[in-house]
Each structure stands twice: as structure tokens, then as C-alpha cells.
Amino acid sequence: MSTFQALGLSQALVETVTKMGFETPTPIQEKAIPVLLERNGRDMVALAQTGTGKTAAFGLPLIELLDQDVRTTQALVLAPTRELCLQITSDLENFSQNVKPLNIVAIYGGASIMEQIKKVKRGAHIVVATPGRLMDMMDRKAVNISSIRFVVLDEADEMLNMGFKEDIDTILADTPDTKNVWLFSATMPREVRAIASHYMTDPAEVTMGTKNQGNVNIEHQYVLVDERDRYPALKRIVDFNLDIFAVIFCRTKIDTQKVAESLIKDGYNADALHGDLTQQQRDKVMRNFKEKTLQFLVATDVAARGIDVSNITHVIHMNLPDEIEFYTHRSGRTARAGKKGISMAIITKREVGKIRQIEKVVNTKFERKQVPTGPEVCQQRLVSLVHRLRDVQVVESEVGKFLPAVMEEMKDLSKEDVIKRFTFLEFNHLLDYYRDAPDLNRADKGERSERGERSDRGDRAERGERFVNGDRLFINLGKMDGLDAGKFLGMVCDRCGVKGDAIGRIDLKGAYSFIEVNKEVSKLVQDNLHGMEYKGRMVRVEITSGAGGGEGGASRGGRSGGSRERSYSSSSSSSSRGRSYGGESRSGGESRSSDSRKRSYSSDRNDRRPSAGGRERRSK
């Protein structure tokens, strides 16, 4: 194992990194630092994943090679996002604090450009910048990069993915031909290779693993579920993994908000990170996540770029990314600094092919896991509680004065009674939550899952016999909406989290329908369907009467057409519409899909337009 001193760094710099807790260099540092110190600097292309110590790999040689007595800007570091820009600046300041009095200035969007201009004018040895804000500064002639000796492109593939190619070309064209260019990238697409060939001379190449290979410390896993079960599967996964600290990726801004809100309603500390947040909101979310006030950060790909948070245990993909390279960047948020991590994808059957594509490109193998069953979740949490109870260190001075009263109250209970009552008190809600929880795992071909196809869909009239004491609901959807009895049943079951045997006769009309439901789930169906949008129509649900007849009720065969029944009650109020996937707390009732809130499915389409997201906008 090499040492930092053996890499050619000065004694002062070695002592500084040692005090910071770095005893031995990481593989990328071990390979890159000697190359960058060669001949007082040379061009280099480094292929390495995030979290492998790249900042020190270029930062330590940079500090070693700069002349503190020259007040002009000697080095420029370009990064894709504000967060990464600030992280690099902080690291460089820490590396140089006891070595050289270097002035390091961060330039990024979302902050006062005038303040940044003032800092640069005071003299900056190193400028760490995002491309958009640097271009603004160059347009104002507020920054001079004509004497630059070193240019570092960190996460070059990310900058190109964000559309900064033109800005990077403009910036590099304003720098001297004699500069050294150090390019770091997690993947090596054609566009990154083009930059290397155009702006570098005989660059050294440093590759960690094979091209596009992911971090070997990451376990790549997936679970296979039905589309409606993505969120319930996520809920089971986080319930089962008690010490989880995760980034959860969604495809759209709306999805991130839905998932975050649902986790919050289920009792978890979570928040969303997407392009619609102001910079102040984004900073607050990231600060809370770094401080672990948040357990879950739910993010889009664009918004999550540049996130550098330690000790993330899991990256969870609610949807796989459209671009395979994005998967590498997503999963790279975990297993940083040599630690282990898990990248878990929640997929449907149609996404299995994409898993195989990722395996080929990233040169890794995914392991299929099973979504934990209800009893498995309960068992896991119970065992964990027992271990914590057994291992807790009691501070007598804190609780001693209360113990006599407690002992007096419990003196008639045996040890077994105390354990039983404690277990029931602690786990009653959880056990109730998972009591009838179905198996969420998607059955393999040829099998039928517990919640799979229903064999009793055909004879609705026969099923209707069981709903003499049920409710008959009016719903303003019918045949004109492309529904038949089977599709209607599937929609109700999927979006309300009820089983098929809770539904009786379905009487479809042209523009509306009547449906018989078990009284036990009647309110659940009303709350979850009322107010949702279906193919551009706002759904309205009203109760007409008992399913078995009575005032205003229809015969078992339903009406043959004509006017709508009028004896509606007011019980379908909107008081609880707008609730989330289910469960008012972590121990609340499990529901089936994100569609159990008041929602607008058509609005998802608006969110699929290209978004600036994490990319900076130029501001004059």
C-alpha cells in the first residue's frame, strides 16, 4: 500500500492530509497524483466513479504546483453543479490551509454575482466555477482566465449531459494554449472523448476498472413488482431496512413530490429535491439531508447532480433512468470513500430488458431480491427493538426518580406479562398494518401472484348477491371513457387498494356507472376515486343507496338506461380526499399506489418537458 509521501507530495501537504484523517491514498489518487506532478504538470484523462477521492486526486497536485506569490488566477476548476462547486472549494481550502495561503473563490449561480465579482477582484489563485455563471462573469469582463495554467473538468460527462458543451468550448478557447487540462469523468461517451482529443496534447490516461464500470463496493439489486405496487414496495423496503439513509430517484418532479409527501405521511423524515425549488429551498433541503435531519432525499436526476453526502446506505430507483450513464451517476451516490452501499431498482416486467442493458454497459450483475412480506417486516423490526432494548445503557440519574412509581404500578405483572404487553403496545399498529398484506413480488412467467389475475371477473351478477348490505356508488365514468367491466374493476382495485371480492355488480352506462362495494371499503373507494383525473375528466363519486335495494336503490340487474338515480347522500364529502398512499403514520394502513391522493395524471406529461433543473441560467 502506497503512502501520500511516496506519491511525491511535499511534507507539509502530507502532514495536512494526515491530520484530516487520510492515511493512505485511494486507487485514483495513487495513480493520478504522480502523473499530474510529472514535468510540472501534464494533460490527463481520468475515468473514475464519484466517491473515489477525485477531488484530492487533482486538488493536492494543484496546490503543490501553484505559485502563491503570483496573484493572477492560475487554476480553473469547472464543475456541473453548485453543490459540487462548493464541495470542491471547501476541500481545496482544507488541503491548503497549512501549506500555502491560497485564495480560492467559488463562482456559481443562485448567489449574488456582485459579491463573487468582488472576491475575484481581490485576487483568486484558484477559481472553482459552474460553466453558466463563469460565462456570465466573462461576459462582464469580471474574471480573467488568460493566464490560466491548469484547467480541471470534474464530472465532465455530467456537464455535457446538462448541455454545457458550448460553454465549455467558449471557456477553454479563452485560456492559453500552454495550459494543462485534467479531465475527470465517471463515463467516457463520445462527447467527452472529443474534448480530450481537441484540447489535450498526449494526455496520460488513468482508468479505474473498465470503462463505464460502476463502483465495485456497490451491490446492484432489483425487485420485480406490478406498476401499482412501486410505492408499497418502497415502503416495505424502508420498513425492513431500519438504518437506511437513502437517495430515492424518480423520473419527474411531480413523482418526487408525491413520493416525498407519502413518506412523510407514513412517518418518515423525507423531502423532495427538484428543479422547481428556489435556491434557498434547495439549500435547506440539502443542509437537512447532510445533517441527517432527513432520512430520505427524493430527487430527479438533474436536481441530484453533484450531491456529495457521506454514509448514504442505499440508492433506490423508483424508475430506471432513460440514459444508462445516468444509472452510474445515480448509484455512485452510495459506497463513497471505500464504504459499501446498495443500489436498488423497483421495476416492472417491462423494465427487465433495461436491467440487462445496464448490466452489459456497466459490467456488473444485478441480483433479484424479494420485496419483504408483511410478517418478515414485523419480525425484522421486532428483533431490532429487542436488541436495542437489551443493549440500551440506562442512565440511573436520568430516570431513577421515576422508577419507584413505575415499579409500583407494575408490581402485579409478571415478567412475561410485561414483555407481552410491551410487545403488543409497540407493535399493535405495525401488526395491524401488515396483517393481510399481500405478496408484492411479481410472479414469474407461468405463475399467478396472490394479487394477480382474478378468476371471478366474469359473473358480476352472481357476485352482486353478496352485497345486500353493501353500498351502491355513482361514478361519472362509463363506456365512453373506454371502460368495460374488467377494466373498471381493475382501476378501482388498483387505485383504491381493495381486493376484487370487495366489489359487486358493475353497471356501466355511456357517461357514468354504478358500482356495488362492500360497506367496509366503501369510504375508501369514495375517498380515493373522488377528485382524481381520468383521461381529462375530473372523477366524481357519490353514494346512491344500499346495494341491496331500499329507497332510491336499483334492482340487482341495475337500470336499463335512462336517468341517473337521485337519492345521493352527503357521505362522499371531500374531507379526507387528497390523502396519500395510505397510513397516517409509519404504522398506518398499507395502500396500493401513489394514486390514492387527489391527483392529476395528465399533469405528469407537462413535467416531461426538458427542464433546466440543476442547470444554471445565466443572469445578467
pLDDT at 94 over 70: yes
Q: Which of 185-194, 579-588, 590-599 has the lowest mean pLDDT?
A: 579-588
Query: Radius of gyration of the chain from Cα atoms?
Result: 30
Note the pLDDT of residue 142.
Answer: 96
Q: What is the pLDDT of residues 265-318, one digit of tens each?
A: 999 999 999 988 888 898 899 999 999 999 999 999 877 876 778 899 999 999
Note the pLDDT of residue 587.
Answer: 38
Q: What is the pLDDT of residues 25-64, one digit of tens each?
A: 999 999 999 999 986 678 999 998 777 889 999 999 999 9
- Looking at per-residue pLDDT, the higher value among 512 and 246 belongs to 246
The structural domains of the chain, with segments of one domain joined by +, span: 5-207, 218-373, 381-434, 460-603
Closest by CA to 327, choosing from 156, 80, 86, 157, is: 157
pLDDT band at 399 (very low <50, low <70, confident <90, very high): confident
Which range, 10-24, 381-395, 486-500, has the best average confidence (pLDDT)?
Answer: 10-24
Quote the Cα angle for 609-536-561, to 5°.
Answer: 165
pLDDT at 337 over 80: no
Q: What is the pLDDT of residues 162-203, one digit of tens each?
A: 889 999 999 999 999 999 999 999 888 888 999 999 999 999
What fold is seen in the domain 218-373?
Rossmann fold (3.40.50)
Q: For the domain 5-207, what is the CATH code?
A: 3.40.50.300
| Mean residue pLDDT across the chain | 81
Burial tier of 69 (Cβ tally within 10 Å: 0-12, 13-18, 19+): exposed
| 76 SS3 class | strand
Q: What is the pLDDT of residues 236-264, one digit of tens each?
A: 999 999 999 999 999 889 999 999 999 99
Note the pLDDT of residue 604.
Answer: 39
| CATH fold match for the domains 5-207 and 460-603 | no
Provide the CA 120 distance to its chain's centre, in angstroms.
36
Global pTM value: 0.58
pLDDT at 590 over 80: no
pLDDT band at 584 (very low <50, low <70, confident <90, very high): very low
- Looking at per-residue pLDDT, the higher value among 486 and 36 belongs to 36
- Angle of helix 54-65 relative to helix 11-19, nearest 10 degrees, comes to 150
Mean pLDDT of 131-148: 95
CA distance 591 to 583: 7
The residues near 285 (Cβ < 8 Å, ≥ 6 apart) are 271, 272, 273, 277, 294, 297
Quote the Cα angle for 212-217-222, to 5°.
Answer: 80
DSSP annotation of 443 reads P
Q: Where are the alpha helices (DSSP H) in 174-300?
A: 190-199, 230-240, 253-265, 279-290
CA distance 457 to 472: 18
- The strands making up 75-78's β-sheet, listed across from edge to edge, are 104-107, 126-129, 75-78, 150-153, 180-185, 44-47, 204-207
Note the pLDDT of residue 33.
Answer: 95
pLDDT at 606 over 50: no
The CATH architecture that domain 460-603 belongs to is 2-Layer Sandwich (3.30)
